[in-house]
Amino acid sequence: MTNTIEMEDLMHLKLFESVTKISTRYTFIYNNTLFFCVLKKDLSKAIGKDAANVKKINFIAKKRVRILALPTEEKDIKKFIESIVSPIEFSELEIKQNEIILTAGSQSKAALLGREKRRLKEMEKIIRDYFKKSFRIV
């Protein structure tokens, strides 16, 4: 999965662990939202009762926070990407041997690319780190 952990990511991971009491090493930022990935069995514990842990991390980090289930199989890739780009919807996700191709309409494509392709670059990094594949939007 993720190859290197930067200092900012390390601080976020330490904050996450101190609040939720769950250890993970998977975190990334997409569209100014801080994402943490945990095992599916730990997801409800990480979120906390009435999303208390999410709210606490949100308050301390001063960023929107989302907690996702860590994709374990190739069939989980579509759900993982849908969760990241939500509420933007896309029509199709094609997974090839070493490439992921996302098909979207013109409005969704513009939202997925972002200004100066910022969101595209963030998503390419996420896909490369987690799945060792290239990514493109059609």
Q: Determine the length of the chain.
A: 138
pLDDT in tens, 34-71: 999 999 999 999 999 999 999 999 999 999 999 999 98
Domains identified in the chain and CATH numbers = 7-69 (3.30.300.20), 76-133 (3.30.300)
Distance CA 75, CA 8 (A): 30
Distance CA 16, CA 19 (A): 5
Model confidence at 2, pLDDT cuts 50, 70, 90, reads very low
